[in-house]
Amino acid sequence: MKYYSTNHQAPEASLQEAVVKGLASDKGLYMPEVIKPLPQSFFDHIENLSFQEIAYQVADAFFGEDVPADTLKQIVYDTLSFDAPAVKVKENIYSLELFHGPTLAFKDVGGRFMARLLGYFIRKEGQKQVNVLVATSGDTGSAVANGFLGVEGIHVYVLYPKGKVSEIQEKQFTTLGQNITALEVDGTFDDCQALVKNAFMDAELNAHMKLTSANSINVARFLPQAFYYFYAYAQLKKAGKADHLVVCVPSGNFGNITAGLFGKRMGLPVKRFIAANNSNDIFYQYLQTAKYNPRPSVATIANAMDVGDPSNFARVLALYEGSHEAISAEISGATYTDAQIRETVKAAYQETGYLLDPHGACGYRALEEGLQDGEVGVFLETAHPAKFLETVENIIGESVEIPAKLQAFMKGTKQSIPMSKDFASFKAYLLNE
């Protein structure tokens, strides 16, 4: 399969090139040249397949030409060593719990898949160290760091905004050691993302070391996120609830929802999507006005969605050939303030006993407000509420039990390197590595 750049100025790339480069040389994002529809027979029996079996079929459509079947199967099965249950919260609203992986957030799926695929390519080539640069607003760093931990031939640099991620998030990527280095940047997530993007464009740096990205722009992280949309459908179909399915995705950089849109293009019977934003409502405004106006992000309690210029918007545009009309026909938007998010976490907990995290709360509320008669909604519960412990405990006025996996991280010692947001010092640091 060939991958083209959304900016159409860079040459087409093979899967391996796209995965190793991350971003195309014209700063565009890679897109698969074809999105293969899956056969009707697959959907007819999907409710009888396991998560891993479903995911392998989806993976095969994208990666089957480039990765031997047994290797791909192993990568998929290893990646999905945990479940993603669709849990009923109340009548016609389901939570797709994507927090059963090692770092309790959906990014585990893409992070683990990418680490294994990149590891395969490096082994095939016979080793030269590859350096993964990843900017994180919270959960990407932990998912990528844990996905790559101990993978030979790969070093990971996690850039995160100082003071803007929760203590638990921070512990998940600053306590690992081995091939993982955490860089604490005196700036915002957008500053971290800019440092990473500039590093990829810097000729001197690229001559010095082999760099790749593991942000949601990387096709190896981005595409596997389609897996669980199919599995959500399978579960709801089994429950007899899949006829008019609305999927709601709490969105920041828009990688997650875009993978769902790819799923729909492959034939997944989703009626429509809702993109739920926090106060960083750039996409919501785009839907209303047809104008895309990126602006600096503002900090919210759903901090993994604090994105002022969502990278994957370029992929959404590419998928719909730039048509605002086509985009609005399949995706609607919602935006919630911190006060509304708090209100939603509290009300849902009181009414249903289900504890939402601040990101999932945006998704849940958008379904509560936006479902039409006859529709069934599933929102992606993108992280475990205990990852946002203080926030969630303050809202509900009760203590929240911390899962054992998280407690283990809390016991580690933070190790990070302070970094300014100016590119020259970041570059000097990397040149010394």
Ligand X SMILES: *Cc1c(COP(=O)(O)O)cnc(C)c1O
List of residues contacting ligand X (CB under 6 A)? 105, 107, 138-139, 216, 250-256, 304-305, 359, 382-383
The whole-angstrom separation of Cα 145 and Cα 296 is 26
Q: With beta carbons less than 8 A apart as the criterion, state whether 260 and 275 touch.
A: no
- The nearest distance, CB 403 to ligand X, in angstroms, is 15
Catalytic residue among 21, 36, 107, 387: 107
The whole-angstrom separation of Cα 77 and Cα 98 is 16
- The nearest distance, CB 355 to ligand X, in angstroms, is 14
- The nearest distance, CB 127 to ligand X, in angstroms, is 31
Burial class (CB in 10 A: 0-12, 13-18, 19+), 285: middle
Query: 398 Cβ partners below 8 Å, 6+ apart?
Result: none
- The nearest distance, CB 254 to ligand X, in angstroms, is 5
Q: Which is nearer to ligand X, 122 or 383 (CB)?
A: 383
Q: Which is nearer to ligand X, 246 or 282 (CB)?
A: 282
The whole-angstrom separation of Cα 429 and Cα 70 is 40
Q: Which is nearer to ligand X, 216 or 335 (CB)?
A: 216
Q: Which is nearer to ligand X, 255 or 377 (CB)?
A: 255
Count CB neighbours of 159 within 10 A. 26
The whole-angstrom separation of Cα 422 and Cα 425 is 6
- At 191, phi and psi to the nearest 5? -65, -40
Largest CA distance in the chain: 61
Q: Which is nearer to ligand X, 158 or 305 (CB)?
A: 305
The whole-angstrom separation of Cα 137 and Cα 310 is 12
Q: Residue 107 catalytic?
A: yes
E strands present in 173-330: 180-186, 210-213, 245-250, 272-277
- The nearest distance, CB 99 to ligand X, in angstroms, is 8
Which residue numbers are catalytic? 107
